[in-house]
Amino acid sequence: MRIASVEDDTSQAEQICQLLDEAGFECSSFATGSAFLRALRDQAFDLVVMDWQLPDVSGYELVSWVRQHSGRLPPILFLTSRIEESDIVAGLSVGADDYLAKPIRPGEFVARVRALLRRAYPKTLHEDDLIRQGAYIVDARRRVIALDGQNVDLSPREFDLALFLFRNIGRLLARDVIEQAVWGRAMDAASRTLDTHMSRLRIKLALRPENGVRLASVYSHGYRFEATAAHE
């Protein structure tokens, strides 16, 4: 799973990513709030580890922005030296899911991260890690999709959308449900973002009946992604 660390102290940022990498997660580190926000334009993260004091914007403001634009997910863990009760209350009230004081205690830090992920994605860490359908193998943990044994090059957002489709195969999916799950918000009715991403997936993943799936647009509602005859 992909975790963003927003931390301006170089040594602490390295420690955070090292601990997460050793625990089996993929960590991306950002030294400023603006760098993190730029990354959110085309990347999706499963959890955010947030420092409070940053050189350009406060972690408090960043958490508020993420919650306003992305909804309940991703879970956010404040990791900060600000440990007054008023700070903890403010951090949790603005939208953080947990609060951990520095200095980092490695065992507790990793345990808190795992606990937040289990609560936020109860299926992702268990039976849905590997999905097989027709000619496809979807590896949620490694964030890889293989078609006939060959990994397909997808952007982070394309992978998130494809994973959502494969996890909901056979269901009629409303546009706003897909947008909320993948982008964290329902988009304007005139937006073509979802349709553009669906078109790219259809081409990149060769979403055709001969490969074991069918992607169909349902007028005025959304999409249906369904299984077809077994891939030979």
Domains and CATH numbers, the chain: 2-120 (3.40.50.2300), 130-227 (1.10.10.10)
- Locate tokens 């922005």: which residue? 65
Could you list the pLDDT tens digit for every one of the 232 residues in the chain? 789 999 999 999 999 999 999 988 889 999 999 999 988 877 778 899 999 999 999 999 999 988 887 777 789 999 988 888 888 898 899 899 999 999 999 999 999 999 898 888 765 444 457 888 999 999 988 889 999 999 999 998 999 999 999 988 888 888 888 888 888 777 887 888 999 999 999 999 999 999 999 999 988 788 999 998 755 4
Could you give the CA distance from residue 79 to residue 100 in angstroms, rounded to a whole number? 5
- Locate tokens 């963003």: which residue? 4
Contacts of 151 (CB under 8 A, 6+ apart): 144, 145
Residue 28, pLDDT score = 94
Could you give the CA distance from residue 98 to residue 76 in angstroms, rounded to a whole number? 7
Residue 138 half-sphere exposure, CB side, CA atoms within 13 Å?
23
Q: Are strands 47-50 and 98-101 parallel, antiparallel or unpaired?
A: unpaired
Rounded to whole angstroms, what are the CA distances from 135 to 70, 119, 170, 207, 231? 33, 31, 17, 10, 6
pTM: 0.57
- Locate tokens 């972690």: which residue? 59
Rounded to whole angstroms, what are the CA distances from 128 to 26, 124, 173? 18, 5, 19
Rounded to whole angstroms, what are the CA distances from 112 to 22, 73, 97, 151, 207? 15, 16, 10, 32, 38
Residue 134, pLDDT score = 92
Terminal alpha carbon distance of the chain: 31
